[in-house]
Structure 1
Amino acid sequence: MKVAMISLHTSPLEQPGVGDAGGMNVYVINTARQLARRGVEVDIYTRATRPSQGQVVEVEENLRVINIVAGPYEGLAKEELPTQLAAFAGGVLEYVRCREPLTYDVIHSHYWLSGQVGWLLRDLWAAPLIHTAHTLAAVKNAHRSDEDTPESEARRICEQQLVDNADLLVVNTEEETRDLVAHYDADADVVEIIPPGADTELFTPGTDRNTELSRRQLGIPLHAKVVAFVGRLQEFKGPQVLLRAAAELFERDPHRNLRILLCGGVSGASSSDTTYRDLAAELGISRRVRFLGPRPPEELVHVYQAADIVAMPSYNESFGLVAVEAQATGTPVVAARAGGLSIAVADGETGLLVDTHDASDWADALAALLDDDARRSAMGEAAVGHAARFSWAGAAERLESVYERALSEELSGCHQRNAGG
């Protein structure tokens, strides 16, 4: 089987936490690696953002990343990428045409921009289109904070077209299926649920010595309590919620020995390089907050191991890969009861779920674990077993079965295009 994966707006080789790179990058590269190891040939098409990388990157046997020039290498925001859909699609077609007889059995697109290209290629190549949205405009708008910029109606229309036209839709959770049905009138019979995974060989529980070494490397006091946030610094991910909750905790007890780590890069139109530093200063907690740049996985594990708690105050998550990675290291998670986080975190067993984004509620939840060492330790131990339920190998095995289902269902030579949206 040969699969063309489309990941237009962000390369799976980019560092998660930088710009628009995040959980989707982790998902794409890890499922592709595992599919390749099962003997499936995978080509990932993405937009070239620097000439030094070359057109084709051989990642490992059966897996390549193909960089397609579409617009300038730098200076093009994600919001401007719809202007490059034709250029990108043309670049993919040119690459394939010049390498006959290169053909694909299946197309798997990730995110709505890629889906629009995948929809065109599906018609041209007569290959089934599997689409994974990762996030949805209607859901993001329903759950966004008051300060966050709403997603455009143009995006929602494009997503509706993909729901109407893709052969199969892959989601992470049952809740995503319900969202597709409720907001996009999807046929539940064409939706396949495949939970993502975590690299449990890399993200492993830390010993006391690991924790001590990690804290020394990060410059964190050994005897402080540490709450870490890992992800893109944007309103939708909720770092402002954590900062305000921390300020509430310090207001309750000015002598509390607590440090906050924010690990990630700024992303989104509503944030700048100083947004969260300025907020920490405004709240009077700058000396208690450390800003860490995005980390590759082999360094990110030390952030998880250094933390007593990982906080995920997102307004919505299709799943929440950070929660699984943190739990795999034995660190309990306090998360918003939003999207897939209610599956990624076992409430009361491996962490706590918070029903609101109110600073007082978050301060209460964090204090409940920070001030109860025995409970927090027990949750950390349970978290390792919970995280072990999610694996990339298992996700890839199920993805391959979805591809086989798509191939087994007869496709007509001409597709009925539902382009209304």
Structure 2
Amino acid sequence: MVRVALVTSSFLPRFGGVEEHVLHVARDLRRRGHHVVVWAVDQGDETPDEVDGIGLRYLPCPMPARDLGALARFAAGAPGALRAWRAAARADRPDVVHVHCYGPNGPWADLAARRAGVPLVLSSHGETFADAHGVFDRSRLLASALRRSLRRAAAVTGPSRYTLDDLVRRFGLTPGGGVVVPNGIDPAEPAAPRPAWLPGRYVLAVGRMVGVKGFDLLVDAYAHADPGGVSLVIAGDGPDREGLRRRADELGLRERVVLPGRLSRPEVVTAMRSAALVVVPSRVESFGIVVLEAWRAGVPVVATTRGGPPEFVADGENGLLVDPADTPALAAAICRVLDDDALARRLGETGGQAVGAYTWRAVGDRYAKLYGAAGVPAR
């Protein structure tokens, strides 16, 4: 048995890609007989004490900044934060501290691991280049902390080589260093009843509505393609939602572009199963879990060439790859799938076969082996 502290930048009740990854990894490690606790950044939410028997702690993670007000707040909050992290380490006695998505959680987790004398494992999820606020470009302090943590880490992972290469180029990870541990998916995730708002035939995109996800590029490509009788559904929420609505209106697409907001997990499963095509138009993508969701549904997918997808999507075999900034090319790819039933069926079937390699059990296997290779003792 290994005592594992998974230290995440965000967790329940918030739920996105990182939160889902950490939750499924925690479940899998616990099923293997390991003792798992999740330490998450306290963001002021009402939070549970446990989930599925996994203990949760929400810890303060103050960070200093250049302006005097921020420095004063850090000075006031740091002693209490230090006590909270010490108490968590004493209570949970981790054999390994495993950081997911390095943010304010990272320096505090690094400190906790050093004080406890246990290995530190870092898993990047693309936060260094895909953060909507560009925090690593704005905060020299956080960037410097990440560089120090990478030097100290017993192991580093990313969901794609693209993600790890960014750590090499900008943050000092040893060239060729790090291990690729892809995202996973639940092959039997339940579906919801089909909602009345879903159109009859539609192209689907899912994700947080921020610029990096490229949904504005998709709206432009959809207008360029002008596929008669086919709607565009973009599910998710975020600061760009109203801008997408305005762009659709400007293009005369008000009745054809559906923005239902954030969907529950079962609703995502249902929307995937009913789609004619799923598009991942990201300006950059660390991995692309939406591809796995489309594959699980047996639906053809068009994915971005920018980032991780080209590492696991075989163009023309289990999906189509296209630069989303090339509007005519993205429009042509959409039309190609919608107009060719045999191609759509083949891409969906081949994707459905490929998704079996991306279970959470497979992800848990890789992390468990990584702990052993990093010298984490088993009790």
Bigger mean CA offset, 382-391 vs 165-174: 165-174
1: CA distance, partners of 2:119 / 2:372: 10
Letter in 2 for 1:41: H
| Offset at residue 91 of structure 1 (A) | 4.0
Pair 1:105-2:95 in alignment: yes
Counterpart in the other structure of 2:246: 278
Distance 1:401 1:369, change over 3 A: same
Counterpart in the other structure of 1:27: 21
Counterpart in the other structure of 2:198: 220
Distance 1:306 1:131, change over 3 A: same
Of 179, 187, 207, the match for 1:200: 187
Query: Cα RMSD (Å) of the superposition?
Result: 2.9
Q: How does 1:371-390 map to 2 (within 5 A)?
A: 371-390=339-358
SS at match of 1:199: coil
2: CA distance, partners of 1:335 / 1:14: 26
Letter in 2 for 1:219: W
Counterpart in the other structure of 1:67: 58
Of 277, 302, 307, the match for 1:309: 277
Letter in 1 for 2:111: L
SS at match of 1:46: strand
2: CA distance, partners of 1:101 / 1:150: 32
Counterpart in the other structure of 1:299: 267
Q: Quick one: percent identity of the two aligned structures?
A: 26
| Offset at residue 238 of structure 1 (A) | 0.4
1: CA distance, partners of 2:51 / 2:206: 26
Counterpart in the other structure of 1:336: 304
Letter in 2 for 1:162: S
Pair 1:151-2:137 in alignment: yes
SS at match of 2:137: coil
1: CA distance, partners of 2:45 / 2:21: 25
Letter in 2 for 1:196: N
- Is the contact made by 2:95 and 2:376 (CA closer than 8 Å) also made in structure 1? no
SS at match of 1:229: strand
- Is the contact made by 1:312 and 1:336 (CA closer than 8 Å) also made in structure 2? yes
Distance 1:367 1:51, change over 3 A: closer
SS at match of 1:112: coil
Counterpart in the other structure of 2:122: 131
Q: How does 1:197-276 map to 2 (within 5 A)?
A: 197-202=184-189, 214=194, 217-222=195-200, 224=201, 226-250=202-226, 256-267=228-239, 271=240, 273-276=241-244
CA deviation vs aligned residue, 1:309-330 (integer Å, no higher than 9, x gap): 1111112211111111111110
Distance 1:186 1:379, change over 3 A: same
Letter in 2 for 1:5: L
Please, what TM-score do these two structures have when normalized by structure 2?
0.87
Which protein, 1 or 2, shows the higher relative CO under an 8 Å CA cutoff with sep ≥ 6? 1
1: CA distance, partners of 2:110 / 2:90: 21
Aligned pair count reads: 365
2: CA distance, partners of 1:150 / 1:128: 24
CA deviation vs aligned residue, 1:220-277 (integer Å, no higher than 9, x gap): 343x3x1111000011000001100111122xx6xx111011111105xxx3x51111
| Offset at residue 36 of structure 1 (A) | 1.0
Letter in 1 for 2:98: H
| Offset at residue 12 of structure 1 (A) | 4.3
Distance 1:247 1:159, change over 3 A: same
| Offset at residue 97 of structure 1 (A) | 2.6
SS at match of 2:357: coil
Please, what TM-score do these two structures have when normalized by structure 1?
0.78
| Offset at residue 157 of structure 1 (A) | 3.1
- Is the contact made by 2:296 and 2:352 (CA closer than 8 Å) also made in structure 1? yes
Letter in 2 for 1:152: R
Distance 1:183 1:51, change over 3 A: closer
Runs of 5+ consecutive residues of structure 1 not aligned to the other structure:
17-22, 72-79, 205-209, 410-421
SS at match of 1:151: helix
- Is the contact made by 2:323 and 2:330 (CA closer than 8 Å) also made in structure 1? no
Distance 1:240 1:405, change over 3 A: same
- Is the contact made by 1:105 and 1:128 (CA closer than 8 Å) also made in structure 2? yes
1: CA distance, partners of 2:57 / 2:124: 21
| Offset at residue 103 of structure 1 (A) | 0.9
CA deviation vs aligned residue, 1:149-183 (integer Å, no higher than 9, x gap): 99325243333232223221111223333333233
